[in-house]
Amino acid sequence: GLLLAALLVSHMLLTKEGVTSMPICPSGSVNCQLSLEELFDRAVKLSHYIHYLSSEMFNEFDERYAQGRGFIAKAVNSCHTASLTTPEDKEQAQQIHHEDLLNLILGVLRSWNDPLVHLASEVQRIKEAPETILWKAVEIEEQNKRLLEGMEKIVGRVHSGEVENEIYTPWDGLPSLQLADEDSRLFAFYNLLHCLRRDSHKIDNYLKVLKCRLIHDNNC
Amino acid sequence: DLLQWPQISKCRSPEMETFSCFWTAGNLYNLTVPRILQLLYKKSNEEDWKECPDYITSGQNSCYFNASYTSVWTPYCVQLASKNEVYDKKCFSVDEIVLPDPPIHLNWTLLNTSQTGIHGDIQVRWDPPPTADVRKGWITLEYELQYKEVNETKWKELKPRLSTMVPLYSLKTARDYEIRIRSRQRTSEKFGEFSEILYVSFSQIGIGCDHCTEEVEFPWFLVVVFGVCGLAVTVISIMLSKQPRLKMLIFPPVPVPKIKGIDPDLLKKGKLDEVNSILACHDNYKTQLYIDDLWVEFIELDIEDPHEKNRASDTDRLLSEDHLKSHSSLGAKDDDSGRASCCEPDIPETDFSASDTCDATSDSDQFKKATEKEEDLLCLDRQDNDESLSSLANIDLQHQHRSTQSENSHLWAPFGESIESPHPSVRTQISNQNSLASTDFYAQVSDITPAGRVVLSPGQKSKLGRAQREGCTEQNFAMDNTYFCEADVKKCIAVTSHEENEPRVQEQGYNEDGYFTTESLTTTVANLGASTAAPPSSEMPVADYTSIHIVQSPQGLVLNATALPVPDKEFNVSCGYVSTDQLNKIMP
């Protein structure tokens, strides 16, 4: 009994992706504030976790449903966030102003709020969907919300002046997830998961660049 | 040869800023000019296929896309074609094909060595690949280190980690090691190429211990073998050991069926009547205390209506089970003495309900084993006779009964006294006994019928007859375990009419051991004029009456062997027990 408990605890500790609940403020302090470094650390951890989950989910879906259907060839479709002009290489990422980049990150996160909710609900309707995919969809949606909150905090700290228009792209892909034709429906899922993996990677990269730039002065 | 089409082998980006594609030409054509094959590419948001901008930088059969041509999260498609024929096509995005270059500048430093100098710890450091821009955070790498001894074949792996330094513990200083490292993008699965091998040699820095003794590996095999042998030896020794406690502790005995209170050996070897008695009575055992109490109770009952009951003889009572049950007093008395005599005294269960079997067998048992109450019971007939025959007052009767039924020793005194006085009663008793009308006497119970009746030993009547007519020469007297009441003896003696009348009226002091007082014994003897000679010699049962040497409760009595046949002595064996002293005085 004791050995089993020890094994369970150690397994939980080992498989944790580093997303642990950290105390926000030292106990007892009234006006406590997290440092920017702390905020960025947490944001980077969250973004890495979300990217890891979405990457795994895509791989599982690909293995389970996409084999032999030729989805890869068609996966040149654009994502709904393509209208947002985000840096496409390192030069562009270095040149963009950090406030703009932060706003872009926020915009992408907001744009993914809606699709993630629907993804979590619609993926359950897939025939014989594995439990791991279902669980990951729910987890990603949750973590995305947390990252959004964190980013808004960071933006509130970093932002110097006026508030820009909110950046946001609506998502209209829900009907495609509910198509009657199974092939088309699965392709819609494949596309969505592919886009999710890509965008989560973007956000993760941008945040790391910003962290190195703002906190460590380009010397990570 | 197999026909091999030209195909794109892989596309790879080392730092997420540029990428290259590589292909194989195949043996389709006898290609002399390598440029015939073209690589065309297209971004997702473009319409036209464009040709590879750089065929040279990455080597032969490759296409290099520099930073200006690279958009990281943009889907690309490339295809290998020649003129009008497309041989292969691939679609990807740059972030998916990141395979970093290997780390550079591997080195190691000694951390510490063990006291014996056999083992040492080192710290391995390296630099990230130069192409990867880690400092600006554009790419995050994790590293995997592998090491092994020089002459080993299998590499040991460490878990991938983000830091560019890692300690290696407990390396053998006598051996040389090889280390290699590879890296990958943190969220990818595939690793890049391995770095160059780093050689670790302790002797180079003067710490190597070439002459150190080889560390002996823990001899697991020997430990297991010796452990098993030792365990086997221990088990065998326990099994063979004579120590019952140890044996019982480790190998507890399997309980065998057992009936409480019955010795299984007895069942195998014991005599039939012993077994019968034990089996019948083993749950009817009463302690001495209980018996005493019960005697008291029954005394009262008897007193209440002494004349009402038809004073049937004991024999009749024995033979008719109704009487046994109705006459609870007698029955109880029978029970008591019977139980006491026949059953194992260590059985705690006491059962006041008399069973016919027990009563019956108890009679037989009481002939065998001596208890205090036996003689009371045995000679109860005499008292009854006295009662019936004599004109004694009720008081006397009461005296007699009380004396009979209560404690042994002190009761006999008044009885003895009472006996002394009514000589005529004795005589009448004798005469009455001689008449054999309804003489109560005691005989051995040889069997119990299923109906519960008692079958006395054969020759019961003949005993009487013989006793009367033939004298006491009968061998019946000599039957084993047969006890005869004093009355019988008297008869025997009277019949023989021995002239010797040694009225050994020895006024012996009241002997507490004896169940008969000396006075009673001697008076009867005197009255009977019993001789000492004849009866003892031939007729006196050899094994019947002896003095009690030791009373061993469960097993019976140890009779005094020396007291047995005393031919010349007036061995006035009564049905009761004679004390040793009395016996000695009687006998030479």
Would you kindly state where each structural domain of chain B is located, as residue ranges? 7-97, 104-205
In this structure, what token pair is assigned to residue B572? Answer: 């006035």
Q: Are B488 and B467 in contact (CB under 8 A)?
A: yes
| Closest by Cβ to A94, choosing from B75, B91, B136 | B136
pLDDT score for A200? 95
Q: What is the 3-state secondary structure (H, E, C) of A185-198?
A: HHHHHHHHHHHHHH
In sequence order, what are the beta bridge partners of B124? B108, B166
| Closest by Cβ to B135, choosing from A86, A88, A218 | A218
Residue contact B45–A202, C-beta within 8 A: no
Say what the pTM is: 0.53
pLDDT score for B361? 44
Rounded to an integer, the average pLDDT of B510-528 is 43
Nearest CA in chain B to A220: B135
Name the CATH topology of B104-205: Immunoglobulin-like (2.60.40)
Instruction: Give the residue with greater pLDDT, B94 vs B573.
Output: B94
| Closest by Cβ to B187, choosing from A51, A78, A219 | A51
Range of weakest confidence among A29-43, A125-139, B179-193, B278-292: B278-292
Highest mean pLDDT among B102-111, B244-253, B488-497 belongs to B102-111
Q: How far apart are the first and last CA of chain B?
A: 135
Which residues of B fall within a CB distance of 8 Å from A88? 71-74
Instruction: Give the residue with greater pLDDT, B505 vs B225.
Output: B225
Residue contact A208–B140, C-beta within 8 A: yes
Rounded to an integer, the average pLDDT of B529-553 is 48
Residue with tokens 């962290």: A211
pLDDT level of residue B534 (50, 70, 90 thresholds) = very low
Q: What is the CA radius of gyration of chain B?
A: 59
pLDDT level of residue B334 (50, 70, 90 thresholds) = very low
Nearest CA in chain A to B78: A73
Cα(B123)–Cα(B168) distance, integer angstroms: 6
pLDDT level of residue B122 (50, 70, 90 thresholds) = very high
Check if A60 contacts B (Cβ < 8 Å).
Answer: no
- CA B141 from chain center: how many Å? 67
Q: What is the mean pLDDT of chain B?
A: 66
Model pLDDT for residues B176-185, shown as the tens digit of each residue: 999 999 999 9
Cα(B585)–Cα(B504) distance, integer angstroms: 10
Instruction: Give the residue with greater pLDDT, B404 vs B60.
Output: B60
pLDDT level of residue B375 (50, 70, 90 thresholds) = very low
Q: Are B559 and B547 in contact (CB under 8 A)?
A: yes
Nearest CA in chain A to B46: A76
Rounded to an integer, the average pLDDT of B117-142 is 92
Instruction: Give the residue with greater pLDDT, B147 vs B33.
Output: B147
Residue B486's φ and ψ, nearest 5 degrees, are: -55, -30
Model pLDDT for residues B553-575, shown as the tens digit of each residue: 555 555 555 544 444 444 444 44
pLDDT level of residue B257 (50, 70, 90 thresholds) = confident
pLDDT score for B47? 86
Q: Count of A–B CB contacts within 8 Å?
A: 64
Which residues of B fall within a CB distance of 8 Å from A76? 44, 75, 77, 91
pLDDT level of residue A78 (50, 70, 90 thresholds) = confident
ipTM score here?
0.82
- For residue B537, the 8-state DSSP code is I
Residue contact A88–B74, C-beta within 8 A: yes
Check if A204 contacts B (Cβ < 8 Å).
Answer: yes
Q: How far is A15 from chain B (nearest CA, A)?
A: 13
Which residues of A fall within a CB distance of 8 Å from B16? 90
Residue contact B136–A90, C-beta within 8 A: yes
pLDDT score for A73? 57
Check if A205 contacts B (Cβ < 8 Å).
Answer: yes
Asked if pLDDT for residue B295 goes beyond 60, the answer is no
User: Which of A100, A64, A63 lies closest to A84 in space, CA to CA?
Assistant: A100
Check if A94 contacts B (Cβ < 8 Å).
Answer: yes
- Percent of chain B's residues with pLDDT above 90: 23
Check if A20 contacts B (Cβ < 8 Å).
Answer: no
Residue contact A208–B138, C-beta within 8 A: yes
CATH 2.60.40.10 for domain B7-97, yes or no, is yes
Domains defined along chain A, listed by start = 35-216 (1.20.1250.10)
In this structure, what token pair is assigned to residue B201? Answer: 């040699």
| Closest by Cβ to A89, choosing from B70, B75, B140 | B70
In this structure, what token pair is assigned to residue A45? Answer: 């951890």
Cα(B121)–Cα(B114) distance, integer angstroms: 8
| Closest by Cβ to A198, choosing from B95, B138, B140 | B95
- Fold equal for B7-97 and B104-205: yes
Nearest CA in chain B to A82: B74
Asked if pLDDT for residue B306 goes beyond 80, the answer is no
pLDDT level of residue B28 (50, 70, 90 thresholds) = low
Highest mean pLDDT among A70-79, B18-27, B92-101, B108-117 belongs to B92-101
In this structure, what token pair is assigned to residue B462? Answer: 């003949």
CB environment B83-99: b (16+ within 10 A), e (fewer): eeeebbebbbbbbbbbb
